[in-house]
Amino acid sequence: MLFHSTQIQFSSSEAMSDTEKNWQTKRATVRERTKFMLNKDLFSDVKFLVRKGDGESESKEVISAHKFVLSIGSPVFEAMFYGELAEARDSIELPDCEYESLLELFRYLYSDEVNLSGGNVMGVLYLAKKYMVPSLAEKCTEYLQNNLDPSNVLSILPSAEKYEEKNLVDRCWKVIDEQTEAAMKSDGFVTIERSLLEAIVLREKLTIAGIELFKGVELWATKECERRSLQADGKQKRRILGEQIVKGIRFPAMQQRDFANVVLDSGILMTEEIIQLVKHFNCVLKFPVEFPGAKRSGPPLQRCCRFNSVVHRGGSRSSTDCINLSVDKDILLHGLRLFGSENNVTTVELEITEGSSRSVSVKAGQFSSERYELELFGYYGFTVSFDKPPDCYEEGHCVPLTG
């Protein structure tokens, strides 16, 4: 990494020129007095030299510390300062961490407090693991879980796996499974490792249309070609992706129009594979041998029934009805099942709105009635399914469905 300028500053940003007189008498607890000494020269017997940068320039700054305080909070520091091979120097340079992250580690060791943010939490987690401070590592993983979303999940997952934080890993995969398309459209997606891309493509529970998955995979391959200074043609992209990823994309489950408009132009598939898939789309071949044809299962599907019985009144009518849907946790709404009659074809326009005006999704068309059997009764009706489930239903929201 190149920096435009490099400076070394040997002054603490929090150092005091004159120590507050009788400062001990104004702080009633040991924790308050220890916290006061954080990054101050007062009684300091060791200094840490660490880098501090703003993206364009880098400087090196000093954090003043106290061996005793660090050692009672970390067995690694204890060995460093009081072990058989104790560090004799009073100035230690740490090239593997940033100023802000190390300062937050020390803040926790001095006061049991930590100020975590999106910019420092991964660095603090690394240091908590390195210096064996499990309670701080737990706070970091809790922060990450509470702030996990599709925009950052792909950058958090590799670190969660590296540090063997199983609960955080599981939460990351849950976000990826349930909000796959949003995760793949995040800024960090094109920079993930190939191994993570393969793990995503091979998962059974993704919530994404096959063509959108392919677009994401091709975009990643294009960016990887650019990083390697290679021509981004179909042959190079396929070589970079590897057969596991290409064969993991479920081309037979795509719409034929999407396949023709997007996949064919990419040049990733070989002629023999294209012939097999064209035969499949035209019902000449049930499934191409090389590619799985089943749609992904997605997350568990839950059904909610509002009634305990049905009385058929006959006749037909044209009207607009509204259902207000309230949920106690985040959901994806896959569709709505309406009552009908035997051998009936009905025209429906279903619109989902959030608040009083914002339209979230619309589904319109003609639907044929089917017979459905429930535990308490059976009925004729028809299911209106959304091509892409809206993801706007959040805990505490009340969403009207009109149709």
Architecture of domain 172-281: Alpha Horseshoe (1.25)
Q: Calculate the alpha carbon distances from 203 to 149, 288, 360 in Å.
A: 19, 20, 28
Supply angle C-alpha 292, 298, 299, rounded to 5.
Answer: 150
* CATH number for the domain formed by residue range(s) 6-147: 3.30.710.10
DSSP string, 11-51: S-TT--SSPPTTGGGG--SHHHHHHHTTT-STT--EEEEEE
Contact predicate 53/24, CB 8 Å:
no
pLDDT tens for 23-59 read: 989 999 999 999 999 999 999 999 999 998 776 778 8
pLDDT band at 15 (very low <50, low <70, confident <90, very high): very low
- The DSSP annotation for 134-149 comes to HHHHHHHHHHHHHT--
State residue 316's pLDDT score: 57
pLDDT, tens only, 359-401: 666 777 777 777 777 666 777 887 777 666 555 444 444 444 4
pLDDT above 90: percentage of residues in the chain: 56
* Domain boundaries of the chain, sorted by first residue: 6-147, 172-281, 322-402
Q: What span, in angstroms and rounded, lies between the C-alpha atoms of 312 and 285?
A: 44
pLDDT grade for 225, boundaries at 50, 70 and 90? very high
CB 115 within 8 A of CB 104: yes
Region 112-138: mean pLDDT is 96
Would you state the pLDDT for residue 348? 81
Q: What is the pLDDT of residues 288-335, one digit of tens each?
A: 678 887 777 766 666 777 777 666 665 556 677 777 777 776 667 777
**Alpha carbon distances (Å) from 166 to 142, 193, 301:** 12, 20, 25
Q: What is the pLDDT of residue 403?
A: 44
Indicate the Cα dihedral angle 69, 75, 80, 85, nearest 10°: 140
